[in-house]
Amino acid sequence: DTVLTQSPALAVSPGERVSISCRASEGVNSYMHWYQQKPGQQPKLLIYKASNLASGVPARFSGSGSGTDFTLTIDPVEADDTATYFCQQSWNDPNTFGAGTKLELK
């Protein structure tokens, strides 16, 4: 299975820019998607196919990358962005998720 590696945690101050990385163990073309999950809630789609903003998601969120290295960027970060962010690939079978990056605000 394709393993997706994410940093466990990040801490940033409101108003700053943050980049959350996701590295795949094998190429996934551009079939990388990003989700936000707040405690006690279901995941919410942010970005699909590497760089496409999902409906209703603020333009502060953006995605980039292809192949094996991908990045979710939030600029500027707001207090409400405290959450865990997961990447997911759907190029290789089965589709897999990263372990998540917990974003905390200082």
Partner 1 sequence: QVQLKESGPGLVQPSRTLSLTCTVSGFSLTSYGVSWVRQPPGKGLEWIAAIWSGGSTDYNSALKSRLSISRDTSKSQVLLKMNSLQTEDTAMYFCARFRQLGYFDYWGQGVMVTVSS
Residue 31 near partner 1 by CB under 8 A: yes
Give whole-number Cα distances, 35 to 75, 82, 98, in Å.
16, 13, 10
Give which of 19, 50, 18, 23 is closest to 34, Cα–Cα: 50
Spell out, one character per residue from 47 to 76, where the chain touches partner 1: x when CB under 8 A holds, - when not: -xx----x----------------------
How far apart are the C-alpha atoms of 29 and 50, rounded to whole Å?
9
How far apart are the C-alpha atoms of 97 and 79, rounded to whole Å?
25
> Of 13-21, 63-71, 75-83, 84-92, which segment contacts partner 1 by CB under 8 A?
84-92
Residue 15 Cβ, how far from partner 1 at the closest point, in Å? 29
Please give the helix or strand (H or E) that residue 57 lies within, else none.
none
Residue 94 near partner 1 by CB under 8 A: yes
Determine which residue in the list 62, 70, 74, 98 makes contact with partner 1, applying CB under 8 A. 98
Judged by the rule CB under 8 A, the positions of this chain that interact with partner 1 are: 31, 33, 35, 41-45, 48-49, 54, 86, 88, 90-91, 93-100
